[in-house]
Amino acid sequence: MSNSLNNNTNSIPYARLYSLFTVRTPLAADCGAVCGGRCCRRLFRGEEDAPSGMLLFPGESAFRQAAGWTAGTLLPSGQDSLFLCGGFCRREERPLACRIFPLFPALEADGRIRAVYDPRAWRVCPLVRMHRHVPLERPFVRAVRQAGREIARTPAGRDFLARQTEEIREFNRFLRLDRERAPICRKKTAPAGENRRASITGKEFLS
Ligand code: SF4
Ligand code: SF4
């Protein structure tokens, strides 16, 4: 993969953003093993005969092409592109939207980035529907925020985040996920004498 892809200060450093999520995942446990990898299956069947896929961020398609990743199909979606994968991929090639799922780095009115549950993942992802019971890993949530900050440094990235945040706001008029507390993993308070390293992994609720 060419380093020149990341040397342009006007471009989003996808190699770095992808690497943020090499080991960071929503839960310490493999949530895909518990839910059957729903985000890599149903989404792509087109449940209502409409093509659905993962939204690529600005310039991500060019980054992927330059990296020689040719798997998947691209579909135009308004100003953006959808990536359709057929439900399987090489892990190191998965798009950014798959890595941050089911969160999104929302651009707030004051310019700050907040990692929020993406209400568009409500139907697919049990982590969104069970957000009150299944906390997410703090390093994962922080990485989503960090990725959002990097993206917001470019005009195209800021514009994209603003548009997506507006769409999320529209969904939240019904789902009201924006009223929920930040999706951060909370350590279980261990009673005296119990193993103090015990914590909620999320698996307890999903199985
Ligand atoms: S992110 Fe959600 S839908 Fe995807 S594997 Fe994890 S729990 Fe399942
Ligand atoms: S690209 Fe990979 S991670 Fe993303 S939805 Fe498809 S199979 Fe899942």
Q: What is the pLDDT of residue 198?
A: 40
pLDDT tops 50 at residue 171: yes
CA atoms within 13 A of residue 198's CA, in its CB half-sphere: 10
How many Å lie between the centroid of ligand 2 and the Cα of residue 191?
Answer: 40
Whether residue 147 contacts residue 153, with contact meaning beta carbons closer than 8 Å, is answered with no
Find the helix packing angle between 138-152 and 155-175, rounded to 10°: 130
Phi-psi region of 176 (alpha: psi -120 to 50; beta: other; left: phi over 0): left
Question: Is 87 near ligand 2, meaning CB less than 6 Å away?
Answer: yes
pTM of the model as a whole: 0.83
pLDDT for 88:
85
pLDDT on residue 136: 94
Atom of ligand 1 lying closest to residue 40 CA: 4
pLDDT above 70 coverage of the chain, percent? 75
- Measure the CA–CA gap between 142 and 147, rounded to whole angstroms: 9
Q: Which ligand is nearest to the CA of 56?
A: 2
Q: Is 54 in the pocket of ligand 2 (CB under 6 A)?
A: yes
pLDDT tens-place string over residues 29-46: 999 998 989 888 755 444
The CA 94 to ligand 2 mean position distance, Å, reads 6
Task: Give the number of the ligand closest to the Cα of residue 202.
Answer: 1
For ligand 2, is residue 82 a contact (CB within 6 Å)? Answer: no
- How does residue 174 score in pLDDT terms, banded at 50, 70 and 90? confident
pLDDT above 60: residue 84: yes
Report yes or no: 200 and 131 within 8 Å, Cβ to Cβ: no
pLDDT score of 156: 96
Residues with CB under 6 Å of ligand 1 are 26, 31-32, 35, 37-39, 101-102, 124-127
User: Binning pLDDT at 50, 70 and 90, where does residue 169 land?
Assistant: very high
Q: How does the average pLDDT of the chain come out, rounded?
A: 82
Atom 2 in ligand 1: residue holding the nearest Cα: 125
Which of 92, 94, 125 for a ligand 2 pocket mutation test, highest count of atoms within 8 Å of Cβ? 94
Of 127, 129, 131, 137, the one to substitute when testing ligand 1's pocket (max ligand atoms within 8 A of C-beta) is 127
**Predicted pLDDT of residue 164:** 97
For residue 37, how far is its CA from the centre of ligand 1 (angstroms)?
A: 6
Protein residue with least CA distance to atom 4, ligand 2: 98
